[in-house]
């Protein structure tokens, strides 16, 4: 809930980067996550790590044609259309005029199927509007939880993302952001402490913010 973000005591465990092998984040299967950061900051790398350890079904929308992952079961299939038979898949749609309709179709299908995680590697490419979510995505973000569908969003431009995505998110991982406007947008949802931490973090560090208990820390992914 947006109110709980700005109210209550804010626990700030560390203002200096801490090196930890694995981010100590407990993200339940039905909870939402945002991964923000400038190009090259490490969003996709973190998403791969988190998805690798996720036991359930997931679909990655990959509008940048950038996402590939090999797990213990082998390479995750890259598909041109959502395949309900696959438990893990990466959807790559050829960029053309029908691109967004094909993403809509996949989002609608995964919403109907439920019990899954939907990770969108650059949400502004799937949802070009800054204010409104396209109907398929709005439905997934707002009502997915009741169907066991959790939406994870990645972006380099949080300023360009409709607020509904922020208000429906429990977990934020925020890497270096290129523009002040993006840092301010994130801080408007996560609080001023996060804003100052964002200015201080190094490349590949990220600020983790948990909406549910209003806690935050700076994390560094071990490599």
Ligand X SMILES: Nc1ncnc2c1ncn2[C@@H]1O[C@H](COP(=O)(O)OP(=O)(O)O)[C@@H](O)[C@H]1O
Residues at the contact surface with Mg ion, assessed by CB under 5 A:
43-44
> Of the listed pieces 13-21, 39-47, 100-108, 140-148, which binds ligand X according to CB under 6 A?
39-47
Residue (111 or 175) nearer to Mg ion, CB: 175
Task: State the nearest-atom distance from the C-beta of 95 to ligand X, in Å.
Answer: 18
> Quick one: which H or E segment has residue 90?
strand 88-91
By C-alpha distance, which of 23, 25, 69, 31 is closest to 48?
Answer: 69
What does the per-residue mask of binding to ligand X show for 193-222, with x meaning CB under 6 A?
A: -----------x----------------x-
> Of the listed pieces 6-14, 37-45, 181-189, 192-200, which binds ligand X according to CB under 6 A?
37-45
Q: Is 43 in the site for ligand X (CB under 6 A)?
A: yes
Task: State the nearest-atom distance from the C-beta of 223 to ligand X, in Å.
Answer: 4
Count CA within 13 A, CB hemisphere, residue 164: 18
On whether the CB atoms of residues 79 and 89 are closer than 8 A, the answer is yes
> Between residue 92 and residue 151, which ones bind ligand X under the rule CB under 6 A?
none
Q: Is 190 in the site for ligand X (CB under 6 A)?
A: no
Count CA within 13 A, CB hemisphere, residue 145: 10
Q: Is 39 in the site for ligand X (CB under 6 A)?
A: yes
Q: Is 155 in the site for ligand X (CB under 6 A)?
A: no
Residue (47 or 107) nearer to ligand X, CB: 47
Residue (45 or 188) nearer to ligand X, CB: 45
Query: DSSP secondary-structure letter at 121?
Result: S
Q: Is 193 helix (H, G, I), strand (E, B) or coil?
A: helix
Task: State the nearest-atom distance from the C-beta of 40 to ligand X, in Å.
Answer: 4
Pick what 88 binds: ligand X, Mg ion, none; C-beta below 5 to 8 Å, kind-dependent: none
Burial of 135 (0-12, 13-18, 19+ CB in 10 A): exposed
* DSSP one-letter string for 134-185: -HHHHHHHHHGGGGTEEEEEEES-GGGS-HHHHHT-SEEEE---S-HHHHHH
SS percent in the chain: helix, strand, coil, step 5: 35, 25, 45
Residue (44 or 116) nearer to ligand X, CB: 44
Binding residues for ligand X, rule: CB under 6 A, are: 37, 39-45, 204, 221, 223
């Amino acid at each position: 809930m947006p109110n709980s973000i700005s109210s209550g005591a804010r626990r700030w465990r560390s203002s200096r980067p801490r090196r930890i092998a694995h981010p100590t984040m407990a993200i339940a299967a039905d909870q939402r996550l945002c991964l923000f950061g400038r190009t090259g900051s490490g969003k996709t790398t973190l998403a791969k790590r988190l998805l690798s350890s996720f036991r359930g079904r997931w679909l990655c929308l990959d509008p940048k044609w950038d996402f590939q992952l090999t797990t213990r079961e082998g390479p995750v299939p890259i598909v041109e259309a959502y395949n309900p038979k696959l438990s893990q898949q990466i959807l790559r749609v050829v960029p053309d005029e029908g691109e967004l309709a094909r993403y809509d179709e996949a989002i609608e299908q995964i919403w109907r199927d439920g019990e899954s995680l939907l990770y969108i590697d650059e949400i502004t490419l799937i949802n070009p509007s800054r204010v409104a979510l396209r109907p398929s995505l709005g439905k997934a973000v707002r009502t997915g939880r009741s169907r066991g569908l959790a939406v994870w969003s990645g972006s380099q431009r949080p300023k360009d993302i409709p607020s509904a995505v922020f208000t429906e998110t429990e977990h934020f991982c925020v890497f270096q952001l290129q523009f002040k406007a993006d840092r301010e947008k994130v801080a408007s949802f996560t609080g001023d402490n996060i804003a100052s931490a964002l200015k201080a973090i190094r490349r590949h560090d990220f600020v983790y913010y948990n909406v549910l208990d209003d806690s935050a820390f700076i994390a560094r992914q071990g490599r």
